[in-house]
Structure 1
Amino acid sequence: MSQRLFAAIGLPDAACDPLLALQAGLPGASWRPRENLHLTLRFFGDIDERQAEDLDFELAKIAAPAFELTLEGAGWFGRLEPHALWIGVGENPALISLQGKCERAARRAGLAPEQRKFLPHITLAYLDRTPVAKLAKFTQGLGTFRNGPIQVTGFSLYASWLSRGEANIYEPVTRYPLG
């Protein structure tokens, strides 16, 4: 049986509250609930149980210091046909290093390399037929948004299930401490 897995940094309530306060006034936005707000380090996709065990073993070997990050700015994916609104993350070498270690752990577990460039972000909403002009105005208003510092003391391996409702279900399976 396969599992849909990803590694991510979960956000504390203090970091989620300002994000939830932004969730209004954009047509076509399907806002992400508090429990779905996270920063993905590496999406692994559907993998079988043996590979999931290998991946867990490799992720558990990651040694990295705890660090702080700051959320700032906004943007979207899907230039002319927007499909996701995100909040950005300030430049952070410790975060980039941790993401690289997750990528190397995935490769050691036998997974194919990630083809997309890492763009650290928090998905705030999925979009459906949101007019680009309205989205541009909305994100321009978020240009001065800043939240943090947020203390990162670990990351988790999450399982993801597609639900019949509006939001996917994300469940942390294993937590890996930093520091």
Structure 2
Amino acid sequence: MNEQIQAATVRVFIALAPPDDAKEELAQALRPAYDAYPRMRWNRIEDWHITLAFLGELPRSAVSLLRTPLARLAAGHRPLRLALRGGGHFDERVLWSGVDGDLEGLRLLAGEVRALVREHGVTFMDRPLTPHLTLARCRRDDASSAVRAAAGLSAFTGRTWQAERLHLVGSNFGRGPGPIHYRDIEHWAFGGAG
């Protein structure tokens, strides 16, 4: 998909996306939490992703410069076998599902992506990779909800799936009020031997 970027700048990250059936499997496991914690701000299932590099706010020109190198990187990289497993929380306010499977391959891919981005002049805060999929956030006055919801996910074991594409994603293209929404700017199939 080649999405036209509308604003002068866009908030950008590079990610993997689980297939729809793996996301549905996790959503099914989350049904009790959806009902029990309605005040949490639940991410839309179509926005679930595994971030490899969060680049922040970038000018359109910088985003355009990354497209060809990211396409080449994807073409030479093998697909990864991953699964969603368990749950946890960051700072008692952010609920997530863990990632299992080829974590060494995931870390290597994230390192390659981050090095490529830096080589093309984009500076960003390079945080350690903690493979996860963010599910929801809660308000400060309701922090225990994320902790309890994470405990409810502790036994979740999703099916293994193959990450087959690298995604360049932008958030809040319209910049209007309301929740954050993500949209592929572009994505590329992995082409290496799997």
TM-score (norm 2): 0.82
Aligned counterpart, 2:114 = 103
**TM-aligned CA deviation for residue 160 of structure 1:** 0.9
Aligned length: 175
Q: Which amino acid aligns with 2:95?
A: L
Q: Secondary structure at the match of 1:123?
A: strand
Alignment of 1:142-157 (within 5 A): 142-157=153-168
1:103/1:113 contact within 8 Å kept: no
How far has the Cα of 1:134 moved from its partner? 4.3
Q: Does 1:171 align with 2:183?
A: yes
Alignment root-mean-square deviation, CA: 1.9
Q: Relative to total residues, which structure has the larger helix share, 1 or 2?
A: 2
Could you say if the C-alpha distance between residues 168 and 8 of structure 1 is closer, same or farther in structure 2, counting changes exceeding 3 Å?
A: same
CA distance in 2, matches of 1:70, 1:130: 32
1:16-165 equivalences in 2 (<5 Å): 16-21=23-28, 22-23=30-31, 24=34, 25-26=36-37, 28-62=39-73, 63-79=76-92, 82=93, 84-90=94-100, 92-129=103-140, 131-161=142-172, 162-165=175-178
1:9 aligns with 2:21: no
2:65·2:120 contact (CA, 8 Å) conserved in 1? yes
The Cα of 1:163 is off from its aligned counterpart by 4.3
Deviation at 1:116, TM superposition (A): 1.5
Report if the CA contact (8 A) 1:163-1:169 is conserved: no
What do the CA deviations read for 1:25-80 (whole angstroms, capped 9, x no partner)?
Answer: 1253111112111111111111112211222222122121112101112111224x
Which structure has more strand as a fraction of its residues? 1
Per the alignment, in what secondary structure is the counterpart of residue 144 of structure 1? coil
Q: Tell me, yes or no, if the aligned pair for 2:96 and 2:150 is still in contact at 8 Å.
A: no
When residues 18 and 130 of structure 1 are mapped into structure 2, their CA distance, relative to the original with a 3 A threshold, is: farther
User: For 1:109 and 1:89, how far apart are their aligned partners in 2?
Assistant: 29
Paired with 1:18 and 1:163, the residues of 2 have a C-alpha distance of 31
Residue type of the partner of 2:86? Answer: G
Structure 2 vs 1, CA of residues 34 and 136 (structure 1 numbering), >3 Å: closer, same or farther? closer
